[in-house]
Copies of this chain bind each other. A is one copy, B any other.
Amino acid sequence: MAGIKDVAARAGVSVATVSRVLNDHSGVREETRARVLTAVSELSYRPNTLARSLRTDQTRTLGLVISDVLNPFFTELARAVEDAARESGYSVIIGNADEQLTLQDHHVRTLLDRRIDGLLVSPASGDSVALREAALLGIPMVFVDRWIEGLDVPLVRADGRPAVRDLVAHLYALGHRRLAIITGPVASTTSNERVRAFRSALQEHGLPLPDAYIGQGDFQTASGRRATERFFALPEPPDAIFATDNLMALGVMEQLRRLGLRVPSDVSLAAFDDIPWFLHTDPPITAIAQPTQELGHRAVAALTDLVEGRSAGSVTLSAHLIARRSCGEDERTRR
C-alpha cells in the first residue's frame, strides 16, 4: 500500500506539502496542489488513519455501547446514531454489552484503547468501574436512554412517565383492576422509573401494586416468560401485564401461548418501546413509543458538542402511548 512518501516522490514534492494538500491547508500553489492530487489518485493513495490519529490525537470516531443489539429498540437507536455521526463526519464503533456488566466494561475499555473521541453509552444496570474511570478521565461522554446515578454526564432520553400514567388510565378505563408489571434489572434506572410511575398511577386510581404483581425481569425474553409463569401460578393472577421492554413482552406472549391463554380475553398486555411487529401480532400490542431517531440524533449532537469543546446539556424528549387491541376494546381501538 502506497504511503505519503510515495505520493511525495511521484509528485516531486516533500511529504509536508502532500500533507498540506490532503488536509487542505492554505498556502499551496494551485499547480502544486494539482500535481499532488493526480499523484494521489494515480497511486490510489489513502492516508493511514492509524498514523494520522497517533499524531493528531483524534480519531474522529465515536464509541457506542448499547445494552443489547438484539433488542430492536437499540438497533434502531444504533442505526440513528450511526447516521447522525456520519453526517457530522464521525465513524461509530458499536459495542454490544448484552446486558452484562463485564462485557460492557470490556467494550468500554477496548473503545478507549482505540482512542475514540467520545463515548455514547446506554449503560447496563449496576456499578461500572470502567465507565466511572472514563468519566473521571474526562473522556467526552453522553448517556442515552439509560444512565448511572451520581455521574455528572449529560443524558439524552425520553421521559416515559406521562405515557405510563396514560397507560394505567387506559387499562383502568377498560375495567382492569389487577395490574402487574415486569421490571428490568433491579438497578436499572429506566426500569425503576417506569415501575415508580406505574405504582403512583395505580395509586391515583386507588389500586394497590402487590409484590406478587411485580415480576423481576432483566430486559430479556426469557425473563418475560418466567415472570408470566409466576403470575399465573398465583391464586389470583393479574388481568393486565405491563412489560417494561419489548423483548420481555415477547416472552410474555410465548408463555401465554404455552399456557393456552388468550390476549386480551384472558389477560391484557402492554409494552414499553414500540416495534413494527406489534401491529401484526395476535392481537396488536399496546405500546409506549419513544422517539428513537431523535434520541439518536440528539445524543450524537450532544456528544460532538463535548468532543469539539463546546458544552452540552441533558435532553429530555417524551414518549407516547399507542393503544391497540391487546388491552381490550374501547372506542379508540375498535374500528
Contact = CB atoms under 8 A, between A and B. Distances in A.
Contacts of A277: 250, 277, 280-281
A109 B47 CA distance: 11
A115 B221 contact: no
B54 A51 contact: yes
A48 interface: yes
Contacts of A49: 113-115
Contacts of A257: 279-280
Contacts of A110: 91
Main SS at interface, chain A: helix
Interface string A246-257: 000010011001
Interface in A43-74: 44, 46-51, 53-54, 59, 69-70, 72
A214 interface: no
Interface in A281-297: 281-283
A189 to B, nearest CB: 24
A209 to B, nearest CB: 27
Interface residues of A, number: 43
A250 B276 contact: yes
A113 B282 contact: no
A94 interface: yes
A49 B96 CA distance: 20
Interface stretch (A76-84, A171-179, A311-319): A76-84
A275 to B, nearest CB: 8
A46 B276 contact: no
Contacts of A14: none
A212 interface: no
Nearest to A221: B276
A93 interface: yes
A53 B53 CA distance: 12
Contact of A250 (B47, B79, B280): B280
B46 A54 contact: no
Contacts of A280: 250, 253-254, 257, 277, 281-282
A281 B279 CA distance: 9
Interface of A: 1, 44, 46-51, 53-54, 59, 69-70, 72, 75-76, 78-79, 82, 91, 93-94, 96, 109-110, 112-115, 133, 137, 221, 250, 253-254, 257, 276-277, 279-283
22 contacts: A44-B133, A46-B112, A47-B113, A48-B54, A48-B113, A49-B113, A49-B114, A50-B54, A70-B72, A70-B75, A70-B76, A72-B72, A82-B96, A221-B276, A253-B280, A254-B279, A257-B280, A277-B280, A277-B281, A280-B281, A281-B282, A282-B282
Given A50-B114, A70-B75, 19 more contacts: A1-B137, A44-B133, A47-B113, A48-B54, A48-B115, A49-B113, A50-B50, A50-B115, A70-B76, A70-B79, A75-B75, A91-B110, A93-B93, A250-B276, A254-B280, A277-B277, A280-B282, A281-B281, A281-B282
